[in-house]
Structure 1
């Protein structure tokens, strides 16, 4: 069997890295005001230099090589910065030396990073256009706010239960805030890519698998901010209920199949009704002849996210108190109250009680159906608070029909 020395294979990867990045830089040389001397040959030799220094002298010689690369690129930039102040080629050359050295120990990682670097270099024009012409100042601020909440604040918050009845988890509450912001941003991106009349219904359906209540709040906030989007925003909110029903059925099936069998007809009736109503709203939105609005505004509503998190905290506190005071009976009552925030955890906890023999399948199914109804009531209230009258009038009939269909399925099963 033919075998190759791992060092030879790593050198081949380093050679390929230099050729790959160097090819892109060679094509750019002719476009610069003063063509750079660094092209395909320079980048290939730089990558091999990084690799060979690692083989010959290890980390020490590799560090010296990197220092030399910094000195040479700094001198080259100083000599020609008046004709071309850009630093892209110089930085890319240093990165190539680093990748050449990395290829000797982690060839797969080095090759992947090299491809990513080349993509960034090739995408210069669309990236510049996107940042300068497509992104708005408000969108950049929202991105920074989202990044700060996710990467700075979230890791600092304690991830443990605290407060009355140990009902509140600061880490989990901020996750909810981030979730609502992300859903709003998803809708914003969908509108920018597909237009409001197509993008919002699709974004609503996708976001429903994360949180239908949060999606309703985010769509309502968008409709309140831009009244001309009330139909597509309403369609997105209505279709989010379809995703919720599908997810609810899947979670119940995984927890306790007998409970799903008892709820199959009610959930099927509710899902069919929600889908029909949401599709009707989507068709109405698509048929609108209004021009697409300028979406270069805020990507999400922070106030909507904070209000939703506050409402969730209150519901969790109430449900935990009932659970502590009344035991299993309190669990059932708490599940109904918890439905105001999210029907999925309530359904899982009650279906698990069936598996342990603490309650009957019929009682569990009825409790889950009540939680589903309270969840719908929460969406009804949130549609009024976040979206105003125009948005609520388009959402409420579908929510009422969906709940009536679920209860009709319960009595007819």
Structure 2
């Protein structure tokens, strides 16, 4: 019925005004020091924006905005508060624009209104987070991440270059930003959840930076806390979940079509890793598993640059081997580079497939070879860092992960 009457946009505008107005009404205050706008003002302003756009278009909306600005200025200067702020005033202008937007793009207007209402409702928590929870180093690293994602990435050329046509700067930047974002998500998760869940969550989060380093760190702790060797081994195994997830994210970031040949191997590997880790954790309770391990910052510019250079070098080497020795050369490259980093090998394989040098259906074998050789190197690291007992718990899990991923090819 509403659609028939043609007032869907007006109803959307009213809903936006009421949503934001309800939040502002709760913080409006009372008496002469109360804010200048509440529930009714916001609802009317949203309808005003919608009506102005329908009657006179953008020009009338601009005239209404100027008039509204004059009224808000008068109300602001008449405020008796020592620090009246501008949040409600800016929100009122935004509601006017969102109301005007409801006529052409109601979905976008609703999404923006929900985000704005959330920012207004969680004002105190956001202030506390920015002032008390966010450290100087995290702020710096966040700015680096935003610069890489919003400035460097859009400027990177999206074409294949180099003597063998295997290097794409846009792909390399995308993967680098992806690794930084994933590491950031893990870091934020640990900060939000605290240390209550112990080494397991810390290992998964830090595994996004480096699963091999995480295993080495767990082995080092196991040497100091032999009573917790089983729970530490489980946490080390869980760090492989980050490896599996990152392989999938890297392939999907380059081209979603690359996920099809390795979908089941990745699923089987993740399930095997999770089940084995739970079997180690379930009958035991760590005595001092309360401190998250530290393997570097969540936003690490040095790590990002190293990963970028590693990906570039391995991609170039893989392109050379593929050109001169065919797929056999690519398999050999994946084997040796996988010992150091499965993610860089996966990125190089994905780049070659995206550039047309390797069929999409042929990526599963080199990707699994890279993951398998990386799994072998983790076994060696576990033995060296944690000793025989730690390695005896971890090695079966790495073998199970590898076998499960290779078995997943049968389902593909």
Name the CA distance, whole Å, in 2 between partners of 1:354 and 1:31: 65
1:236-294 CA deviation, whole Å, 9 max, x = no partner?
5532435756978xx9994399xx8xx99xx97x8787556644776799614265479
CA shift in 2, pair 1:201/1:18, >3 Å: same
Name the CA distance, whole Å, in 2 between partners of 1:331 and 1:278: 32
Name the CA distance, whole Å, in 2 between partners of 1:21 and 1:408: 54
Match of 1:255 in 2: 261
Q: Where does 1:6-405 land on structure 2 (aligned, <5 Å)?
A: 6=6, 8-30=7-29, 34-80=33-79, 83-196=82-195, 198=197, 201-202=200-201, 214-216=209-211, 219=214, 237-241=236-240, 254-255=260-261, 274-275=273-274, 278-279=277-278, 287-289=286-288, 292=291, 298-337=297-336, 339-340=338-339, 341-342=341-342, 370-377=369-376, 390=385, 400-401=395-396
What is the CA RMSD across the aligned residues, in angstroms? 4.9
CA shift in 2, pair 1:124/1:393, >3 Å: farther
CA shift in 2, pair 1:132/1:221, >3 Å: farther
Name the CA distance, whole Å, in 2 between partners of 1:392 and 1:313: 35
Which ranges in structure 2 are unaligned for 5 or more consecutive residues? 249-256
Q: Normalising to structure 2: TM-score of the pair?
A: 0.71
Does the 8 Å CA contact 2:33/2:80 hold for their aligned counterparts?
A: no
Task: Tell me by how many angstroms 1:148 deviates.
Answer: 0.6
Number of equivalent positions: 382
Name the CA distance, whole Å, in 1 between partners of 2:184 and 2:397: 27
Task: Tell me by how many angstroms 1:45 deviates.
Answer: 2.5
Which ranges in structure 1 are unaligned for 5 or more consecutive residues? 357-363
Does the 8 Å CA contact 2:24/2:38 hold for their aligned counterparts?
A: yes
Match of 1:4 in 2: 4
Name the CA distance, whole Å, in 1 between partners of 2:218 and 2:317: 31
1:170-207 CA deviation, whole Å, 9 max, x = no partner?
23333333233223222211211223463763475589
CA shift in 2, pair 1:163/1:198, >3 Å: farther
Name the CA distance, whole Å, in 2 between partners of 1:79 and 1:128: 27
- Could you say what secondary structure the match of 1:105 adopts? coil
CA shift in 2, pair 1:179/1:219, >3 Å: farther
Name the CA distance, whole Å, in 1 between partners of 2:94 and 2:377: 53
Does the 8 Å CA contact 2:211/2:243 hold for their aligned counterparts?
A: no
Name the CA distance, whole Å, in 2 between partners of 1:310 and 1:405: 32
- Could you say what secondary structure the match of 2:144 adopts? helix
- Could you say what secondary structure the match of 2:4 adopts? coil
- Could you say what secondary structure the match of 2:167 adopts? coil
Name the CA distance, whole Å, in 1 between partners of 2:318 and 2:293: 43
CA shift in 2, pair 1:115/1:407, >3 Å: closer
Does the 8 Å CA contact 2:216/2:385 hold for their aligned counterparts?
A: no
CA shift in 2, pair 1:198/1:215, >3 Å: farther
Which shifted more, 214-223 or 119-128? 214-223
Task: Tell me by how many angstroms 1:85 deviates.
Answer: 3.1
Does the 8 Å CA contact 1:323/1:334 hold for their aligned counterparts?
A: no
Does the 8 Å CA contact 2:17/2:46 hold for their aligned counterparts?
A: yes
Name the CA distance, whole Å, in 2 between partners of 1:354 and 1:62: 52
Does the 8 Å CA contact 2:24/2:88 hold for their aligned counterparts?
A: yes
Name the CA distance, whole Å, in 1 between partners of 2:26 and 2:157: 51
